[in-house]
């Protein structure tokens, strides 16, 4: 069997038998095209003749092309799957990809806003009402106050709240529920928004607990894409001109909590992280902040 035939059969398998999504299949296909295009591999080579050293050479070539670590690791995962498939169906006696190891990913600190930047963003709907002033202020305040993911904010319903909008139960990744909290400014912003929402849609007053919290200007539930659009509108050229993505507000919440002395395990619970190592990234951010503050404030800091 040639490399090309093996790749085509493998793609058909993951699509029709494994039932993988079109996006996933397309991603695998792109990586396999990259694999076949390697000069020492080629489409007509017998799959049985490909060795572990050949595969390592492929990885080396991608590194020389300065491909990102994530791209190379995705390629490695794809090649592993291809050769596992060929071994499973006895096209190979051994699996040359079994010994391939992924490369180390560079550590990237999360993007976050300073206190002044997040305050400016939250005030922007009042100072520059581009869309729906009270809804957008409530949206930004809630995202910053709760640390919710974008999908969690879009899925919030009135029935999820308790204690007069002081807290809410959200369903996160893996269908796990957790409690998030709203501080005073966020709670007031939500209450002001709901009062105005009632006046905008008198025929649809907020009485049904199953109603979604955030709606668009037609009264329909606001989608995650809609929330992203609102945020980009206010942080774009017409607004603060400092682009902010939805996840940055979640990062800002976590950074503020860690910097304020909150226990990392408490922050892990509030963010809904399954692994504490994910939350510990924010302790590094906090350290970076302290170093920057030290260098700025110390008399000899500028000479470092």
Report the C-alpha gap between 246 and 46 in whole angstroms.
Answer: 48
Angle between helices 22-37 and 3-16 (to 10 degrees): 170
Question: Do the Cβ atoms of 125 and 133 come closer than 8 Å?
Answer: yes
Check 137, 149, 187, 251 and give the catalytic one. Answer: 149
Residue 149 falls in the annotated catalytic set: yes
Residue 108 falls in the annotated catalytic set: no
Residue 91 falls in the annotated catalytic set: no
In a 13 Å sphere around the CA of 128, the CA atoms on its Cβ side amount to 16
Residue 273 falls in the annotated catalytic set: yes
Q: Which region, left, alpha or beta, applies to residue 253 given φ > 0 means left and ψ of -120 to 50 means alpha?
A: alpha
3-state secondary structure of 162: strand
Report the C-alpha gap between 247 and 204 in whole angstroms.
Answer: 31
Which runs of consecutive H residues, i.e. helices, occur in the chain? 3-16, 22-37, 52-64, 69-88, 115-127, 133-146, 150-154, 184-200, 224-235, 246-259, 264-271, 276-279, 281-297
Question: Do the Cβ atoms of 264 and 283 come closer than 8 Å?
Answer: yes
Check 120, 157, 247, 281 and give the catalytic one. Answer: 247
Token duo for residue 203: 């025929």
Question: Do the Cβ atoms of 246 and 253 come closer than 8 Å?
Answer: no
Token duo for residue 191: 């209450």
In a 13 Å sphere around the CA of 226, the CA atoms on its Cβ side amount to 18
How many C-beta neighbours within 10 Å does residue 281 have? 17
3-state secondary structure of 94: coil
Check 48, 173, 176, 225 and give the catalytic one. Answer: 173
**Would you name the residues annotated as active-site residues?**
149, 173, 247, 250, 273, 282
């Amino acid at each position: 069997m040639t490399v090309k035939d093996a790749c085509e059969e493998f793609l058909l398998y993951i699509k029709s038998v494994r039932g993988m999504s079109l996006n996933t299949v397309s991603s695998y296909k792109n990586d396999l095209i990259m694999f076949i295009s390697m000069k020492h591999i080629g489409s007509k080579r017998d799959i049985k003749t490909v060795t572990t050293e050949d595969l390592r050479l492929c990885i080396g070539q991608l590194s020389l092309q300065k491909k990102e670590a994530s791209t190379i690791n995705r390629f490695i995962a794809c090649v592993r799957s291809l050769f596992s498939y060929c071994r499973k169906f006895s096209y190979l006696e051994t699996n040359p990809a079994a010994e391939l190891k992924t490369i180390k990913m560079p550590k990237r600190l999360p993007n976050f806003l300073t206190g002044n930047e997040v305050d400016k963003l939250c005030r922007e709907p009042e100072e520059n009402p581009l869309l729906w002033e009270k809804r957008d202020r409530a949206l930004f305040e809630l995202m910053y106050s709760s640390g919710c993911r974008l999908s969690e904010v879009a899925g919030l319903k009135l029935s999820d709240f308790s204690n007069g909008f002081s807290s809410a139960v959200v369903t996160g990744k893996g269908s796990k529920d957790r409690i998030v909290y709203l501080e005073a400014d966020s709670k007031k912003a939500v209450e002001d928004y709901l009062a105005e929402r009632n006046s905008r849609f008198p025929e649809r007053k907020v009485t049904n607990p199953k109603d979604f919290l955030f709606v668009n200007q037609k009264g329909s539930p606001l989608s995650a894409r809609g929330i992203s659009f609102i945020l980009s509108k206010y942080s774009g050229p017409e607004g603060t001109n400092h682009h902010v993505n939805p996840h940055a507000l979640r990062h800002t919440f976590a950074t503020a909590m860690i910097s304020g002395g909150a226990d990392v395990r408490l922050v892990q619970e509030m963010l809904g992280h399954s692994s504490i190592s994910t939350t510990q990234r924010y302790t590094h951010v906090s350290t970076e902040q302290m170093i920057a503050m030290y260098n700025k404030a110390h008399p000899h800091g500028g000479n470092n």
